[in-house]
Amino acid sequence: MTANAKGMFVDTTLCTGCKACQVACKQWNELPMEDESAVREHRAFTANSYDNTGHLSATNWRHVKFIEQLEDRDNGRWLMMSDSCKHCEQAGCLEVCPTGALYRTQFGSVDIHQDVCIGCRYCVGACPFGVIEYNGRTGRVNKCILCQDRLEGGSGTACAKACPTSSLTYGRVDDLKAMAAARVRQLHAQGKTDAYIYGWDLGNTGAITTGPNKGQVVKDIEVVGGLNVFYLLLDQPGVYGLPSAPQLPQRNMIPSAGVALISAAVLGVTGLAAFRRRRMEQNA
């Protein structure tokens, strides 16, 4: 892990879905609304939930998810989660970037050199979380950059600053991990054994107490070398739209190239054989 890495702890139990973080992000980073095609294709405004963005995109670097778990008309719960780039310790986007446009900052976050990005969109397919997205306006990719400019100025992230419930906390990742561990212990002591950490394994284990997955065991998950923006969750990762075992894209590169090499060798032999054993038309 980057020494003194900065990040965020997202305590979903404290999120009220107010979207102040979304607004702060849009405002500080001067992010426009979705482009016209997104409006036309109903990707810009879902209008089917209190969730008004639907997904992270090149112009929505933060997205408050509303997950409705309704048992019947009177019983159920909303799980809310403010999502963004996780600034993975092993970031798929950064790992495959063919130009060095994506880079690790001095704060351990993943930023983009906009002048180096060629808009190949390879990182879009490589991110296991579906975070980074192509910006049709600029011909380059965009995502949360952990308010790099604010961090250089000594301020925290705009979203965390705006969060009225401290669901988002900015700080040193080591400090945040300690805070997260304490918070999980506190929730477990209150009987909320659902709580666990997604991003780092801090040793917590629990069981889901409500909802469709009631009774299922949950435990801390460390993914892709750890997430500098990590989460306290109350249900399985899939419920929040998070992969339970995200992987790095380059896991496939050598095996795929190896199989391709074998195939190429077989094709080479087949081609050579074709010129030796010609299949003539019988009556030509």
- In whole angstroms, the minimum distance from the beta carbon of 178 to another protein comes to 28
* CB of residue 61 to another protein, shortest distance in Å: 13
> Looking at beta carbons only, is 74 or 281 nearer to another protein?
281
**Span from 4-12, 25-33, 228-236, 270-278 in contact with another protein (CB under 8 A):** 270-278
Q: If binding means CB under 8 A, how many residues of this protein chain bind another protein?
A: 72
- Residue among 111 and 220 whose Cβ is closer to another protein: 111
- Closest distance between another protein and the C-beta of residue 63, in Å? 11
Closer by beta carbon to another protein, 41 or else 72: 41
19 vs 140, beta carbon nearer another protein: 140
Is there a contact between 27 and 159 (Cβ–Cβ < 8 Å)? no
Q: Considering only residues 28-47, where is the footprint of another protein by CB under 8 A?
A: 37, 43
Give the nearest distance from C-beta 198 to another protein in angstroms.
12
Among residues 55, 77, 161, 192, the one that binds another protein under rule CB under 8 A = 55
> By the 8 A CB rule, do 230 and 198 touch?
yes
CB 155 within 8 A of CB 168: no
Distance CA 193, CA 207 (A): 6
d(CA 170, CA 176): 8
We find the least distance from the C-beta atom of residue 133 to another protein, in angstroms, to be 6
Which residues ranging from 6 to 25 are in contact with another protein (CB under 8 A)? none
**Six-digit token pair at 146?**
């952990």
Does the footprint of another protein cover residue 267 (CB under 8 A)? Answer: yes
Part in contact with another protein (CB under 8 A); list of ranges 24-32, 203-211, 213-221, 258-266:
258-266
Residue number, 96 or 218, with CB nearest to another protein: 96
Please report, as residue ranges, which positions from 63 to 92 form the binding site for another protein (by CB under 8 A).
92
In the complex, the smallest distance separating the C-beta of residue 197 from another protein, rounded to whole angstroms, is 18
Could you tell me if 183 and 195 are in contact, meaning their C-beta atoms sit under 8 angstroms apart? yes
> Which residue, 75 or 282, is less far from another protein as judged by CB?
282
Q: CB of residue 118 vs another protein: minimum separation in angstroms?
A: 4
Q: Which residues contact 233 (CB under 8 A, 6 or more apart)?
A: 12, 81, 194, 195, 196, 197, 198, 218, 240, 242
- Pick the closer one to another protein by CB: 39 or 266: 266
Contacts to another protein from residues 156-215, by CB under 8 A: none
Q: What is the nearest approach in angstroms of another protein to the Cβ of residue 115?
A: 5
Chain residues 96-135 in contact with another protein, contact rule CB under 8 A: 96-101, 103-104, 113, 115-116, 118-122, 124-131, 133-134
